[in-house]
Each structure stands twice: as structure tokens, then as C-alpha cells.
Amino acid sequence: MTNHRPVAPVLPLATEQLALRPIGLDSVQIIGGVWSEWQRQNREVTTPHSFGWLESDGTIDNLRRLDPAGTVIAERRGPWFTDSDLYKALEGLAWDLGREASGELSSLIAEIAGIIERAQLADGYVNSFVQAGLDVRWDNLVKSHELYCIGHLIQAGIAHRRATGRTELFDVAVKAADVVVADFGDLRRSDTDGHEEIEMALVEIYRETGNHDYLAVAQQLVDIRGHKTLDTDKFGDSPYYQDATPVREETTVVGHAVRAVYLLAGVVDLYLETGEQALLDAALAQWESMTATKTYLTGAIGSRFIGEAFGDSYELPPDLAYGETCATIGNIMLSWRLLLATGESRFADAIERALYNLFAASTAVDRKGFFYNNPAQRRTALAPAPTDTRPSRADAPGTRPAWFECACCPPNVMRMVASLASYLSTSTDGAIQLHQYMPTAIDTEVDGIRVRLTVETEYPVRGTVSVTIVEAAGTQWGLDFRIPDWAEGASLSVNGTPAALAISALGYARLVRAWLPGDVVTLELPIEPRLTVVHPSVDAVRGAVAIERGPVVYAFESVDQAPGVDLNHVEILRDADIAADPLQDLLGQPSVVLRVRGRARRDAAWAGTGWKRLSDAPGSDGEYVDLVAIPYALWANRGPSVMRIFVPLAV
């Protein structure tokens, strides 16, 4: 077992920099609850839905038409980067096969791998936009996404090989990686892609093959960026591409949010292999700035519509929030790498916040609708999204569209859901870490000895997490429980007896024992609802509060409110109790609905004017009302609605 390579997206080769070792999705199964159900829906609903759109939009045809032996079909369609949408969906399929075999899905991957292989040029180059004659190879990297697409192809090929052992897609990926080395390596070209992604992919294929050329090109591309070598264009100037400042000198996240976090994920990957401390330091500084000053409570990042970009610190207005789904997925990927590098729970905290809130809200409960940008407040109930046409990403319907002209987000959701089990736990010498709490069966080893556990929990609707040792040899080893940053007063017990809970500097409570089968550890996390405020420099929610319960951010949606309650004109009482309804089914998910005492603000005194002298401003004088809150993740599933997360405190 010691040479076992986990089925996981990030498998560092070097061990010196690795605080935690990944445990793959072959060793961790999600065996119940909402995430397990989502994985089932991901296969049974989202996969056919997505491949339907990838066909009807011409995304697969764009590659089919390049088959030298084929008959030319249709014109190439869609934006430059459509290949990557397909590759990400393939990566999702691949991880899903690692989770659970399927002949049908295996055939689908094999078929599409064949299509890509036939489109691929002899030297490994493949890009449906350039090969359609719409651009010149490597000539327009600032916008062509050629390396970006190849990066996703590489990740898909690696996923397929790791999950299934099959190599048809991986072989195509290796050829594509080889053409990048041939054309860019040893500074044969001194430019780079306008959209980062290739960096992560090249490091990972180095890990998969041991070929240092890939690592060297990843390093080269990271080194080149930041020196304003990219021609700027209509998308924006150098900071948009993280090309204004070398990554080692940058102190915060700037520009296009997805690009910024993908770059940093690649930078941490590089650090993990090379040990260059400056890279880790830069990634940490940027992550810290992002987390403390440029992240919404929901885990959304990138507040600006223009450029899908990070704004200034504390520029986080809910009513004009962008919050791209892919950006938060990118942050999960970045935070996971930082967790592996440092072992610090704050990175798992960030993943939890992102998963239970923005990521979960990005996808309709029927798993056939998606937010590209994720509203954080909605003052007006908008028309529902059409299910038969795909809007541009900037459109703002009242519910989640079925697909997008720029279809990056849905396949990104697919691959994250399919590979989710690989983000839950890790091991070190002598210990296993539990980072996220879901019903799981874990079958791994500690110090070379097999260990099996089951985790039973209704988290986050209840705060109890029970871990049962199923197999252990009686040797002494540690179980590390992440204590979330919001959890004050967590407790542990072993076989019914309270155990001391000491939180390490890394943020974990460790129990070391000679574990035996049948041992049961119970972690109690206090999940009472709480009122949350954000930094006073976030102008847009000053004097307002949100409700959180455990890791879940709540939202007030108009469909739940009493008749006559207008969420645009309500306040919460400062000392209000938050009452929890009994656990119920809401949209197919066990949920806790919350109620908080507020008052309707009578804004009649303002009629006709938008401003007044401070001395003339009327106070609150409305009627008391009970406001109903549901998990933000579930909003916009019951038709168009008004929604807000933050509600002003009555003054």
C-alpha cells in the first residue's frame, strides 16, 4: 500500500514541502447526505444535461470537424476557449468514474478522447479555434486561451488515468504537453497565456510522469508573467492578467479573479515541488489579503462585473456583486494546495465557507441550472431564466440559466463535485486529518497500517460528528479534527467519555490513541445561529447583520416572508433572538429554517426624495415582523424572488 498513488487532483512528488498528504477519492467515499446526493445527480442529471449542451452548442463538433478523415461539419462555433469547457466536463466524468465505475461513461470518454486525438496535430498541438483558421497558432496568446485549453486537457487526461488506469485521454494530454515544451521550453518563446491554468497542469503532469521538462516550463511561465509582456487588449490592462507585477512581488490579488487564483494555485504547486519559499510567501500574502479584504461572507470573490475582477480591499457591495462560480472553485483549489503545504485549518475553513455557500448556491437543486455570477442581494424579482437558450454570463435572470454562451462554470462544478471526496481528509506520519465533515467511509493507512473509519453526521444541520473506527491494528495514531473558526465551545468524547479538546496552533484537535475497531469519537460543534457583521471598511453593509449557523450563511428570500413584508424595507432588532424551526425538508434537503424578530421600516417620510439633512432623517417606526431565513445555498429555487443576506440593524 505504501506505493499507492491516491486518486486525487493534486499529488505532490516532493515530500519536503508537504505538511499533509492527500487521501484520494478511491479511499474516501461520501456515503450519505446532500453531497452524496449531489454526486448522484452530477452523474445522472448534470452529465447528460451538460453533454447535451456541449453537443447542441457545437463544442464537440468544433473538434470533430478537424478529423482529417472526417467530413467537414458545420462552422466552428462559440468563443475561443470552448475546448476547455469540454475538457473540464471530461475531467468531471473521469473523477466520477474513480468514484463509481460506469461502462456508459467510460465509453463516452473513450469516444471523445478519439475525437480529440483525431483533431490533434502530429506534434501534439490541438485547438479548435486556431485549427479552424480563426487565429494563428500561439500568435495571440493574450486572448487565444490556447495554453489554457491545453492545461484543461492535461488535467482531464491525468484525472482519467488516475481514476481508471486508462491512458487514451492521457496519451493525448502528454502529446499536448509535449508541444508546449517543444515550442515554449528553454525560453524558445518568452510569452505566456492570457489566462492562467497551464501552470497547475504542467506541474501535475510532471508529477504524473516524472518528466522535469514540464516542471521547467511551468516555472518559466510563472517567471515570465508580471513583466507586462502580454499585449493588452479590450479585456483590460496588465493587472487584469496579473502581468503588471511579478507574482513574487505582488501583495494582494488583482485583476480577473479566476486568472488570479488559478495562477496562485499553480504557484503553490511549483513551491510544493521546488521548495522556493518566495513562491509560498507570495501565495500566502495574496491569499491572506484576499480572504480578509476581498471575500464576501459567502465565499464569493471578484466583486467587479467589469473584468470579472477583484476590486479594491473592502469593495464588496452585495447589490453589485459579481462573484463568479469558477473563481470560488479556483479558490478551493488554491486553498487546498495551501492546506497541503501548511497544514493550517484556516485553508480548510475557507474551503468550507466556499463549499456550503457560494459553491452550493451556484447550482439549482435540480442540478440543471447554474449561476455564472452569483447575486449576493436582489432588490427586484427578475424573470426566470430560460431553459432552452443560453444567456451571456452578464445576464441577470431571476433563477439559474441552464447553460451559458461562456460555459466555463457548469463543467467546473461537475469536476469539483465528482472529485469532492479528495478534498475532505489527509494524512501525516502517525495521524489522519478530518477537514470537512460529511458522511464518509475512509479506507486508508497510517504508518503503513490499514485503517478504516466511518464518519456519521447530519452536519451542518446538526453539529454532531461521530467517527467509528472500523478497522485498526491497535497501534497508536492520531485523529485530527478541524475546529472551524466559527466554532466556540466544541467538545470531544471517546466511547461516550468526554475527552480533552486542545486546539493546536494549526487549528486541529488531536486525539491520539491505540485505536481499536468499534471505538467511537464524537465531536460536538456548536451551531447555534449567530449574527455576523463584516469589517467596517466594507461600506456597503455597514450597520447591517447577516445570520450564520455553523458554516451556513443564511439569506432572506421573499417567497418565505409573511404577506406584506418587503425585504427592501426591513430591519433586525439588535437584541433579537434567532429561533430555529424543527428540522425540515426544504427543496429535497434537510434544512433548518430560522426566524428573527425585525421591523418593517416605514420609509414614507422619504417619499419623493433620496436625501435629507441628517437632522431631518426619520428613525425606524415600523411594525414588528418575524423575518424568515433559509440557507443562502437554497435561494432562487422557487421562482423569481427578492433576496438579501445582510439586513440593517434597527437604530
* Chain positions contacting a second copy, by CB under 8 A: 234, 237, 288, 291-293, 295, 297, 303-306, 311-315, 317-320, 377, 379-380, 392, 394-395, 530-545, 568-569, 574, 601, 603, 606-615, 617, 646, 648
- If the CB atoms of residues 32 and 397 are measured against a second copy, the closer one turns out to be 397
What letter would DSSP give residue 633? Answer: G
- If the CB atoms of residues 369 and 529 are measured against a second copy, the closer one turns out to be 529
- If the CB atoms of residues 497 and 611 are measured against a second copy, the closer one turns out to be 611
Minimum CB distance to a second copy, residue 6 (Å): 32
Going by their DSSP bridges, the two strands 594-600 and 28-30 should be labelled as unpaired
Q: Which residue in the block uniquely carries the three cell numbers 499553480? A: 266
> What 3-state class would DSSP assign to 317?
coil
The Cα 398–Cα 480 span in angstroms is: 42
Minimum CB distance to a second copy, residue 411 (Å): 23
- If the CB atoms of residues 303 and 412 are measured against a second copy, the closer one turns out to be 303
Distances in whole angstroms, Cα of residue 363 to Cα of each of 374, 504, 556: 10, 35, 18
Phi and psi at 83, nearest 5°, equal -55, -40
Answer for the pair 437, 465: CB distance below 8 angstroms, yes or no: yes
The size of the chain, in residues, is 651
- If the CB atoms of residues 121 and 533 are measured against a second copy, the closer one turns out to be 533
Choose among 616, 621, 576: nearest CA to 601: 621
The Cα 496–Cα 124 span in angstroms is: 60
Minimum CB distance to a second copy, residue 648 (Å): 6
Minimum CB distance to a second copy, residue 303 (Å): 7
- If the CB atoms of residues 183 and 485 are measured against a second copy, the closer one turns out to be 485
531-540's contacts with Cβ under 8 Å and 24+ in sequence apart are 531/572, 531/578, 532/297, 534/297, 534/316, 534/646, 535/292, 535/293, 535/314, 537/293, 537/313, 537/314, 538/314, 538/316, 539/314, 539/317, 540/316, 540/317, 540/318, 540/319
Minimum CB distance to a second copy, residue 566 (Å): 10
- If the CB atoms of residues 135 and 395 are measured against a second copy, the closer one turns out to be 395
Minimum CB distance to a second copy, residue 128 (Å): 22
- If the CB atoms of residues 373 and 419 are measured against a second copy, the closer one turns out to be 373
Minimum CB distance to a second copy, residue 557 (Å): 16
Q: Which residue in the block uniquely carries the three cell numbers 463509481? A: 100
Minimum CB distance to a second copy, residue 317 (Å): 4
- If the CB atoms of residues 210 and 543 are measured against a second copy, the closer one turns out to be 543
Going by their DSSP bridges, the two strands 476-482 and 508-514 should be labelled as antiparallel
Minimum CB distance to a second copy, residue 436 (Å): 20
- If the CB atoms of residues 212 and 535 are measured against a second copy, the closer one turns out to be 535
Choose among 623, 611, 620: nearest CA to 564: 623
Burial pattern 11-39, b for ≥16 Cβ within 10 A else e, equals: bbeeeebbbbbbbbbbbbbbebbbbbebb
Minimum CB distance to a second copy, residue 590 (Å): 25
Answer for the pair 138, 146: CB distance below 8 angstroms, yes or no: yes
- If the CB atoms of residues 450 and 535 are measured against a second copy, the closer one turns out to be 535
The Cα 113–Cα 167 span in angstroms is: 10
Minimum CB distance to a second copy, residue 282 (Å): 17
Phi and psi at 379, nearest 5°, equal -85, -25
Quote the cell numbers at residue 13.
Answer: 512528488
